[in-house]
Amino acid sequence: MNNVVISGTGLYTPPFSISNEELIVCFNSYVQQFNTEHAAAIVAGEVVALEESSVGFIEKASGIKSRYVVEKTGVLDPNRMVPHIPERSDDEPSIMCDMAVAAAQQALARAGRTASDVDAVIVACSNMQRAYPAIAVEVQTALGIDGYGYDMNVACSSATFGIQAAVSAIQSGQARAVLVINPEITSGHLNWRDRDSHFIFGDACTAILLERADSATSKHRFEIVGLKLKTQFSNNIRNNFGFLNRADESGIGKPDKLFKQQGRKVFKEVCPMAAATITDTVQKADLTIEQINRFWLHQANLNMNLLITRMMLGRDAAPEESPTILDTYANTSSAGSIIAFHTHQDDLPAGAHGVICSFGAGYSIGCVVVKKL
C-alpha cells in the first residue's frame, strides 16, 4: 500500500471580524428590546425575561475574543441577527465554492502542485449550502481537476474523517492526490439570539492536499503515521434543519432548526473521549504521548483543550505545544484543528511528531498522527 503525506494546506479567512464587544452591544440591545416589548407578559409570568450576555463570561468560559464572518452587518443588526448572504444564480459559483477554491489554491501552491496532479476533491464540512449537485463537483470543475468529487458531513470532525477517506483512496491507488476542503459558514446556522451559544462560532475555510509519499516533493510534508476515527451517538449537539422540515409546518421557525447544544454535558463527555482516543492512536503508532511535539486540537473551547492536554500529559501543555487559534477565529467547526495545523507547523524540525484531533457533534472524534519529513 502507498504511504501518504499531507503536502500542503491552505486557509481562507473571511474579510470581516466581530469582536466580543460588538457582539454584546447587539445581543443586549435585542434583549432590552424583547423585554420592553413583552414587559406586561413578563410581569404576568406568561413570558420569561431574557438575560443579557457579557464579554467577561464569553472570554472566561470559552477563550474566544473575536470571530470572522462572511458578512457582519446582518449579524449585528438587533432586528435581524442573521448574515446577509444574497442568493446567487445557478450560473454563478456558489459562495462555498469560492471559499473552497481560494483555500485549495493555497494548498496546491504550498505543495508545489497543480490541478493536473490531483484526482479527487472531498468537500467535508458541517453544513452544505444545498443538497445537490455536490459542492465538491463544482469545486473540482472550478479548479480544473479531471477526476471525481463528493461531499461529506461529520460536523466538527469532517476534516479528519475526510483525511481518512483521502488516505484510503491514495493507499489503494484509486487517486494519486486528493484535496480535502472544509468551507464552514457557521454564521448561517448559528442562533445569534441564543445567549448560551451566540458567541461560539466563526466562518473560515481550510484545504489539505494529501498525496503519495513516494512522489511528493513539497517542503512541507507530514507523513500520516497513525489514524483513528470514533463515533458515539449523542443528542447533546444537534441541528434539526433538513429537507423534511417542510413536511410538518408546525416545526417551521422553531429554534431547533439551528445549532443547539448542552454545552456543559458536551464539555464533560467529550474531553475524556478525546484524551483517550489520542492516547490510544499515539500508542498504536508505536509512540508515547511524550514523543508528540505538537497537538493541533479542535478549536471549540480553550478550557477543553487545556483539560485534554492535562489529562494526556499529566501536566499543563506549553502554549506552543497546543496552539490556540480560537481566540481570533472562534469555533470554525471542522476547519479549527486544520487552521491550527496550517498556522503553527513551519517551526517544527524534520522528525517531529504531531497530532491533529477534532471532536464534536455525533459525537465524532478524528485523530491523525503525523511525522514531519
**Which residues are the active-site residues?**
156
By CB under 6 A, is residue 155 in contact with ligand CO8?
Answer: yes
Q: How far apart are CA 17 and CA 254, in angstroms?
A: 28
By CB under 6 A, is residue 281 in contact with ligand CO8?
Answer: no
Question: What x-and-dash track marks residues 172-211 binding ligand CO8 by CB under 6 A?
Answer: --------------x--xx----xx----x----------
Stretch that binds ligand CO8, among 53-61, 169-177, 207-215, 249-257 (CB under 6 A): 53-61
Q: Which is nearer to ligand CO8, 222 or 259 (CB)?
A: 259
Q: Which is nearer to ligand CO8, 222 or 296 (CB)?
A: 296
By CB under 6 A, is residue 59 in contact with ligand CO8?
Answer: no
Helices (H) and strands (E) in the chain, counts: 10, 13
By CB under 6 A, is residue 126 in contact with ligand CO8?
Answer: yes
Least distance in Å: CB of 332 to ligand CO8?
9
Q: How far apart are CA 223 and CA 226, in angstroms?
A: 9
By CB under 6 A, is residue 94 in contact with ligand CO8?
Answer: no
Q: For residue 191, what is the DSSP state?
A: -
Q: What is the largest CA-CA distance in the chain?
A: 73
Strand partners, 125: none
364-372 β-sheet, strand order: 148-152, 120-124, 177-184, 204-212, 4-12, 222-231, 364-372, 353-360, 294-297
Q: How far apart are CA 362 and CA 304, in angstroms?
A: 17
Task: List the alpha helices (DSSP H) in the chain.
Answer: 20-37, 39-43, 55-62, 95-111, 135-143, 158-171, 263-284, 302-313, 326-329, 336-343
The angle subtended at Cα 200 by Cα 281 and Cα 242, nearest 5°, is 85
By CB under 6 A, is residue 34 in contact with ligand CO8?
Answer: no
Q: Which is nearer to ligand CO8, 62 or 160 (CB)?
A: 62
Stretch that binds ligand CO8, among 2-10, 160-168, 288-296, 299-307 (CB under 6 A): 299-307
Contact residues: ligand CO8, CB under 6 A: 53-54, 57, 61-62, 126, 155-156, 186, 189-190, 195-196, 201, 237, 259, 261, 263-264, 266-267, 300-301, 304, 331, 333, 360-361
